[in-house]
Structure 1
């Protein structure tokens, strides 16, 4: 296949791939190896290990999880990045009382310019606090590329990863970081939080509106404007997404899951599930269940561009 370029010339697709690879090498972009977004069950952990590459992780919520590296121990009590370098012996003990979410990326550097990313030098910082949306979104976007467009991961994803590492390095050097603005009105953010915490109970638009201080009409208009759906549709969608997680990472029957996500009629739940997922709840469990993921906790992905608890691969 030939692709037009500036000046009327054409290049073969293979030549374009080689050019992209050469550019990535010239810029010394990191090569992504493995990445994902996992939610671990309370009380689980990662036994002591040593890795041959670099790993950057982000914990979006503060927990009582503990990261140990060498003789140092860190309680991850606030949102933070964790950096692990090749050869560093480390382990994790996740919070004993609630699930722990973390996003991670393993990567190579073909050559290491220490003046460019000094945080990656030996004895560099292990834990870097960060509470914001910009860098969190960068990590989610790299995972989204791996899931939605894996053949572009090494060029698009590597550029984003280099930007991410540069920003984390700035944080490590105590430079001020800009916090991104939340595009949603605070009442909508609160409404979404209430929905997430009320999936197993009866929740009406009237009750939701009262709790956020709006009228039902204004709440419905705002949902349509900012989220593209009504509050009722949002509640139903969240319930089905939660049911998907319970099917994969829980042991309950379909009937028990239906009740847990707020349905009082199993048959109605099954009809709604099939209408949204184009597959029955039972078939969904059979198709996607993996016994190797027994230590992962159910989570509601909401409007994420990629599924949680799924590992993606870059270069071998």
Structure 2
């Protein structure tokens, strides 16, 4: 069976392009970039070193673990600290989907997220992508979506009045969409009972940890169904479901449609 790309199937170009991703290393102390009415969206993760970002009248000191945004149409300049040269991971993207996701996650007005080392994995995944243009863009769109979701979650967590152990539980659940999480093991490490964690997690997030994790797995499945060519069986295995039939039942219970119907848009 021949699988058509979205462009071939609809006659419209895919609404996301990964223009570049990888490492950006300042080799000179006077390394500086300055742009007016920037045409794309670039997000950078500082792995080492320090520097300064000035964008749209705002100024930010950026160091290891920080993420900063160079928004479309922004006027910005940024440079490395001569004594601590920048080593950064970055992604440069374009397309209608970029603007839609930035607005949806309320990141259009965000310029820096400080001390967010768990976001690094998404930049590394984008930098490691292979394949041709169309396939690469589809895979990149799914990872970029995950990156923005993680950015929004990081900012949201910092406004929560939840107990620290509950916030840490949420972080662990967010990173375990392969189904490998065990609440009893987390409870043992955290020093709190499973009952305590379930009760306070429900108070903070409106559902117990198991249901929260299941929803996250289904959300990941939705992205994989939309942006990849993986079969339902392959997606079920990647997300840690015992078989594709159990996965399909869990998916339909939370979305109202089967994975196959979701992919076809029916």
Q: TM-score, normalised by structure 2?
A: 0.51
For the Cα contact (< 8 Å) 1:119–1:172, is it kept in 2?
A: no
Matched ranges for 1:96-245 at <5 A: 96-110=82-96, 112-113=99-100, 116-120=104-108, 124-133=109-118, 135-145=119-129, 148-151=130-133, 152-175=135-158, 178=171
RMSD of aligned Cα (Å): 3.0
| Aligned ranges 1:246-285 → 2 under 5 Å | none
- Distance in structure 1 (CA, Å) of the matches to 2:125 and 2:75: 29
Q: 1:24 to 1:157 in 2, by over 3 A?
A: farther
Contact (CA 8 Å) 2:43, 2:90: kept in 1 or not?
A: yes
Equivalents in 2 of 1:64, 1:157: separation in Å? Answer: 27
Give yes or no for contact 1:42–1:97 (8 Å, CA) kept in 2.
no
SS of residue paired to 1:102: strand
C-alpha displacement at 1:43, in angstroms? 1.4
Kept after mapping to 1: 8 A contact 2:35/2:75: yes
Query: What is the alpha-carbon distance in structure 2 between the residues aligned to residue 158 and residue 22 of structure 1?
Result: 19
Greater shift after overlay, 39-48 or 73-82? 39-48
1:158-188 Cα offsets, whole Å, 9 max, x none, are 111111111112223345572679xxxxxxx
* Alpha-carbon separation, structure 1, partners of 2:80 and 2:46: 11
Higher relative contact order (CA 8 A, sep 6+): 1
Inter-partner Cα distance in structure 1 for 2:54 and 2:34: 9
Deviation at 1:23, TM superposition (A): 10
CA distance in 1, matches of 2:85, 2:10: 39
Which residue does the alignment assign to 2:7?
18
Q: CA deviation at 1:115?
A: 5.5
**Counterparts of residues 90-101 of structure 1 (less than 5 Å):** 90-101=76-87
Distance 1:166 1:87 in 2: 22
CA distance in structure 2 between the partners assigned to 1:139 and 1:59 by the alignment: 11
CA deviations 1:234-290 (Å, max 9, x no partner) are xxxxxxxxxxxxxxxxxxxxxxxxxxxxxxxxxxxxxxxxxxxxxxxxxxxxxxxxx
Cα distance in 2 for partners of 1:149, 1:40 equals: 28
In the TM superposition, residue 47 of structure 1 has moved relative to its aligned partner by 3.1
Q: How much has 1:24 moved relative to structure 2?
A: 8.6
8 A Cα contact 2:41 2:71, kept in partner: yes
- Specify whether residues 32 and 16 from structure 1 end up closer, same or farther in structure 2 by C-alpha distance, changes over 3 A only: closer
Alignment of 1:82-97 (within 5 A): 82-97=68-83
Secondary structure at the aligned position of 2:107 is classed as helix
Structure-1-length-normalised TM-score: 0.44
Tell me if structure 1 keeps the 8 A contact 2:34–2:76.
Answer: yes
Partner residue of 2:42? 55
Deviation at 1:110, TM superposition (A): 1.2
| Pair 108,132 (structure 1): closer, same or farther in 2 beyond 3 Å | same
Distance 2:120 2:146 in 1: 12
CA distance in 2, matches of 1:138, 1:20: 29
